Structure 1
Amino acid sequence: MASNKTAVVTASDSGIGKACAIMLAQQGYDIGITWRSDEKGAQGTAEEVRKLGRQAQLIQLDLSDPQQGGQALEKLIAQLGRIDVLVNNAGTNIEGEFLDIAFDNWRKVFTVDVDGAFVCGQIAARQMVKQGEGGRIINITSVHEHTPLPGSVTYTAAKHALGGLTKSMALSLLPHKILVNAVAPGAIATPMNDMDNEDAHNVSLPHIPAGRPGDTREIASMVAWLCSEWSTYTTGQSFVIDGGFMLANPQFAAAQQQNDR
């Protein structure tokens, strides 16, 4: 792989995306940072990346229009000179039960979460094929790639779809030495959840077996490993990082209630 390795992390202005950008910079990658509405946050990420001695390039990327977002990604790749890693982190949700959700809202979520990941993934993969040195694509899904989120039929369906897309991409791109995996976070201490990394170690979440939210760096470290030299036998997988959320069941909940008495 080239000495000037580059990684693009979408929605890297805060939260999981920012943590991924910083950790990949620590691993020696120059970073492409994208933001939709928080330019100040993106500049903060860029400052952290540059402190680590790596190049940072920024661009506004709004996947509510995936093709326009794709054009922004192409510009960013041109600014960086190449792309070795794409982290598809951008996503959105509009809550609503199946009987109530409007089709327009259904489409808005799928447009960003699935269409956006498809367009960005295809652009990145085509560039990686041209470079001829392989690459990595990591799709940030959710624990709800695997289990429904009550009251959010669109999010559940979109994240399941992104999980399927990950598998298909993995098979299609393996001959080009491009590895594609998903990372599926549970409850993480992000600004979207009105928390930061300190809260991950101080806030109690009794319904999760680990008893707390996750630290964004616990997600970013998996992304960094998937971009490392020791993950070359791994593709098409979804790595759930959820503090045991997926293991929780009525027996666990009942036991917790018993212990709390």
Structure 2
Amino acid sequence: MTFHPTRAIVTGSDSGIGKATAVALAAAGMDVGITWHSDEDGARDTAREVEALGRMAVVRRLDATDIPACGDVVDDLAAELGGLDVFVNNAGTGDNAPFLDLALDQWRHTVSVDLEAAFICLQRAARHMLGGGGGRLIAITSVHEHQPRVGAAAYDAAKHGLGGLMKTVALELGREGITANTVAPGEIATPMTGQADEDPRSKDRPGVPLGRPGDAREVAAVVAFLASAEAAYVTGASYVVDGGMLQMGPQAGSHLESDDWRRG
């Protein structure tokens, strides 16, 4: 319990899960590095919320398609924060194409952003944590880290790969006091799912045991736990935040249109 994180970076924190996570870490007492790709105004809004909690916010643009320059952004943010205790790799992209129709360029784009850029950024972050009394590496993956979905071959492969990468990092950096874990969301009401500023409790999802999408703050709460001193003995784990969707299978969870299955 000697780990007291005060400096964090959250990539892709201009909206959705990233924004909620940046605010949650600020509420836990951390200054936060905030990155954006195409929505600078959103990142500035996140920074204002962090600053309203009495913490410092540093904003930079990070383009996950620009490898290895995206890692330089992590270095720059860590330098301005005066070090790094927590790194949350949240920036990512998706795809939607059947395997037989998936173009190589589309495959490369998704795998590059979701896996290769994550590798670069996580590696840079870990180097800043060495010799600093420990650290927390957290990657936002997806339920598709664990189960595939029709029409998402590149995304599934990248998220499975990122989960495997984090388990390896957990093995290699444990002696340094650095933990490595993933958080795997299901359907969360965010701009990425076309549900910006909508109350997920107003939505009906018959195929999800809890009956609704998730709130970004519910994901952020799990990230905040993994970033804390209390999570010192948690590493190589994947925390699924999906309302029970994986118990149904991701196709069933998102496509069932009635509650008949609940009656057995």
Name the TM-score, length of structure 2 as normaliser. Answer: 0.93
Is the contact between residue 5 and residue 228 of structure 2 (CA under 8 Å) also seen in structure 1? no
Is the contact between residue 206 and residue 257 of structure 2 (CA under 8 Å) also seen in structure 1? no
2:199 partner SS: helix
Mapped pair 1:155 → 2:155: yes
**Residue identity matched to 1:208:** V
* Corresponding residue number in structure 2 for 1:5: 6
* Corresponding residue number in structure 2 for 1:40: 41
1:21-60 per-position Cα deviation (integer Å, ceiling 9, x unaligned): 0000000000000000000000000000000000000000
1:209 partner SS: coil
1:147-192 per-position Cα deviation (integer Å, ceiling 9, x unaligned): 1121110111110000000100111110110000000000000011
* Corresponding residue number in structure 1 for 2:208: 208
**Which deviates the most, 192-201 or 63-72?**
192-201
> Could you tell me how far apart the structure 2 residues matched to 1:162 and 1:190 are?
22
In the TM superposition, residue 254 of structure 1 has moved relative to its aligned partner by 9.8
* Corresponding residue number in structure 2 for 1:167: 167
Cα 1:5–1:150, aligned 2, differ >3 Å: closer, same or farther? same
* Corresponding residue number in structure 1 for 2:67: 66
* Corresponding residue number in structure 1 for 2:177: 177
Count of residue pairs brought into register by the alignment: 259
1:57-107 per-position Cα deviation (integer Å, ceiling 9, x unaligned): 000000102201111111111111111000000110121111110111111
Unaligned runs of 5+ in 1: none
Is the contact between residue 9 and residue 32 of structure 1 (CA under 8 Å) also seen in structure 2? yes
* Corresponding residue number in structure 1 for 2:226: 226
2:100 partner SS: coil
* Corresponding residue number in structure 1 for 2:19: 18
Identity of matched residues, %: 49
1:206 partner SS: coil
Is the contact between residue 96 and residue 152 of structure 2 (CA under 8 Å) also seen in structure 1? yes
> Could you tell me how far apart the structure 2 residues matched to 1:254 and 1:71 are?
46
**Residue identity matched to 1:257:** D
1:125-160 per-position Cα deviation (integer Å, ceiling 9, x unaligned): 01110x421100000000000011211101111100
* Corresponding residue number in structure 2 for 1:257: 260
**Residue identity matched to 2:190:** T
* Corresponding residue number in structure 2 for 1:84: 85
Name the TM-score, length of structure 1 as normaliser. Answer: 0.94
Is the contact between residue 95 and residue 154 of structure 2 (CA under 8 Å) also seen in structure 1? yes
> Could you tell me how far apart the structure 1 residues matched to 2:261 and 2:116 are?
45
> Could you tell me how far apart the structure 2 residues matched to 1:176 and 1:229 are?
15
Cα 1:17–1:257, aligned 2, differ >3 Å: closer, same or farther? same
Unaligned runs of 5+ in 2: none
**Residue identity matched to 2:72:** Q
